Amino acid sequence: MDRQKKIVSMFDEIAKSYDLANRVLSFGSDIVWRRRACEMAYDLYGKKEISQITDVACGTGDMLGFWEKMAAKKGIEVKNYVGVDPSHGMLEVAKEKFPHFHYIQAYAQELPLPDESSEFLSITYGIRNVVEREAAIKEFARVLKPGGILVILEFTKKERFGVVDKAAQWYMKRLLPHIGGAVSGNKEAYEYLPNSIDNFLTTKQLVQELEKGGLQIQKIRSFSFGISTLFIAQKK
């Protein structure tokens, strides 16, 4: 089994417990991070009508739910919400939670969507799981309309370590696998998480890849002492 298929299989196995594990492991902080990402992206775009929001690596549909709630709060009309994920197990949970959204089972680097079909495209805590990342970024740019918004939330690799960073790393490597394993019954999946961060990019490196892919960075914001980073980019 190749690396990408192995990652997808792992998410299939933890799909039913994924939401609970996220809330427990982040102490609910991921809810705040997602809300802020939606709010800042809508404010930056500044329009009251949006034809389509596509969430890639949508998992159990949480981010689509946050897009919808924030749109309602801000009086924004979004005509179509689309979730894309390669994991059948994750999509089954998403369909139960949010049956009114449209879902497609596909990889980030092979989006079965027309050129310039989405005004917003998001990928939250998923881009580090994409093996063919540069191909995926090109797909994001292809699918976005000119002036469209890309939103990424991710755990990026640290360039330097302060006291808070060392404490966070100790939690991720020592405690998180045990807690995640207890909640999900799959300790290996939660050992993968800190390792995937170690093997990922720094904030600067991800910015370089996005710009190389034809996307212009508009905003970068760190949350919770740099544990999570928000990138908002715009198609030129």
10-19 core/surface letters (b: 16 or more CB in 10 A; e: else): bbbbbbebbb
Domain spans, the chain? 3-235
Determine which of 2-11, 103-112, 165-174, 212-221 has the lowest per-residue pLDDT on average. 165-174
Residue 168: is its pLDDT beyond 80? Answer: no
* pLDDT tens string 94-124: 999 999 999 999 999 999 999 999 999 999 9
Alpha helices (H) in the chain, listed in sequence order = 3-14, 18-25, 29-45, 62-74, 88-97, 133-143, 163-170, 176-184, 187-198, 203-212
* Residues 112-137, mean pLDDT to the nearest whole number: 97
Of the candidates 153, 198, 3, which has an alpha carbon nearest to the alpha carbon of residue 63?
Answer: 153
* pLDDT tens string 43-95: 999 999 999 999 999 999 999 999 999 999 999 999 999 999 999 999 999 99
The CATH architecture that domain 3-235 belongs to is 3-Layer(aba) Sandwich (3.40)
Using 50, 70 and 90 to split pLDDT, how confident is the model at 175? confident
Predicted model pTM: 0.90
* Distance from C-alpha of 147 to C-alpha of 236, rounded to nearest angstrom: 6
Do residues 8 and 87 make contact, with C-beta atoms less than 8 angstroms apart? yes
* Residues counted in the chain: 236
